[in-house]
Amino acid sequence: MNAPTHSPHSAAFADRLAAAITARRTPACIGLDPRRESLPPAVRSADARDPRDLADLFARFCRDVIDVVAPLVPIVKPQLACFEAIGPHGMTALADVIAHARSRNLLVLADGKRGDIGSTAEAYAEGWLAGPWAADALTVNPYLGNDSIEPFVKTAEARGAGIFVLVKTSNPGSKDFQDLVCDGRTNYEHVAAGVEALAARTSASGRFGAVGAVVGATWPKQLDDLRAAMPHTWLLVPGFGRQGGRASDVRGAFHPDGLGALIVSARDVIFAHARPEMNAGLADGQWQTAVERACHEMIDRLAADTPAAALRG
């Protein structure tokens, strides 16, 4: 299989994302987090324990999910760790999944939470945003400082790509460091201020920039505050569904026109066969129908309880 290639885009990522969300009329982002033990019975193979076989299984499963959600959502988010854990064969599978998503006109957000300095950061940025992986955006860890983010920003601007910087993450332990107060503000507020400055600086259209922020659905009050503090920043909001985030919790992530936020669901959608209400009346081989039902449910919940309703006209 040939790896995907990535030439500079004619439009900035922020604008392409807004256009894709508007076209699909939803801010839903589907996470691709394949786990062998969670796969549908019709897909799971008792023999798929060899890394090559497991990688092939993951690739087929993710392609099948992509085929279901491509007409419904603007973007997918492969979790890189799920593929890296298998080794070289897993990375080949990841390249296959990214290429398939792009062939179905989906944007691709690589969730790797990369972070480093100097030439290493430049190499990460080049590989994921400009090199063979061909991702449209990448999640970035900021805790090495501003100089660790700048190489990603530079490459993103040059390639019409984007980055999403960890600001206030959805996990309970985020409070251990992110909520610590320094100079009268929490650490995550300091990071948010830096992200907003970068977003404003890289905003070609004057609205949203190439730099976004990761803010968990499990912190609705902080989400409201951070939306106000980062008007030029796309918010990537994980934690919806299985982690406890509700549609009403993410209202504050949006601008009134329904733009400004991507709401992520992974397990609730891709493993919907395990949800009795989604799998009702289906045979094992119809697991994709459960995925479709769960994706529609997510889209409808967001339209009912958030400003995403404005996207439906």
- Taking only the tens of pLDDT, the chain with its 313 residues reads 444 445 677 789 999 999 999 999 999 999 999 999 999 999 987 666 789 999 999 999 999 999 999 999 999 999 999 999 999 999 999 999 999 999 999 999 999 999 999 999 999 999 999 888 889 999 999 999 999 999 999 999 999 999 999 999 999 999 999 999 999 999 999 999 999 999 999 998 789 999 999 999 989 999 999 999 999 999 999 988 766 678 889 999 999 999 999 999 999 999 999 999 999 999 989 999 999 999 999 999 999 999 999 999 8
Q: What string of DSSP letters covers 27-83?
A: -EEEEE---GGGS-TTT--TTTTSHHHHHHHHHHHHHHHHHHHTTT-SEEEEBHHHH
Helix, coil or strand: residue 102: helix
Domain boundaries, the chain: 13-308
Say how far apart CA 10 and CA 142 lie, in whole Å: 28
Say how far apart CA 22 and CA 28 lie, in whole Å: 11
E strand intervals along 174-290: 181-182, 185-186, 211-215, 235-237, 261-265
Q: What residue type is assigned to position 309 of the chain? A: A
Helix, coil or strand: residue 92: helix
- Between strands 211-215 and 181-182, the pairing is unpaired
The structural architecture, per CATH, of the domain 13-308 is Alpha-Beta Barrel (3.20)
16 HSE (CA, 13 A, CB side): 19
E strand intervals along 51-177: 75-78, 107-114, 137-140, 162-168
Nearest CA to 260 out of 237, 289, 283 is that of 237
Say how far apart CA 40 and CA 286 lie, in whole Å: 9
261: β partners:
235
Q: What is the CA radius of gyration of the chain?
A: 19
* Residue 206 CB burial class (10 angstroms; 0-12, 13-18, ≥19): exposed
Say how far apart CA 72 and CA 226 lie, in whole Å: 28
E strand intervals along the chain: 28-32, 75-78, 107-114, 137-140, 162-168, 181-182, 185-186, 211-215, 235-237, 261-265
Under 8 Å between Cβ of 140 and 115? yes
Select which of 77, 113, 154, 221 is catalytic: 113
0.85 exceeded by the pTM?
A: yes
Say how far apart CA 6 and CA 105 lie, in whole Å: 14
Q: What residue type is assigned to position 10 of the chain? A: S
Residue 260 has a CB neighbour count (10 Å cut-off) of: 23
168 is catalytic: no
Residue that the structure tokens 């397990």 belong to: 267
Return all residues near 288 (Cβ < 8 A) that are at least 6 apart: 64, 65, 67, 68
**pLDDT of the residue at 1:** 47
Helix, coil or strand: residue 267: helix
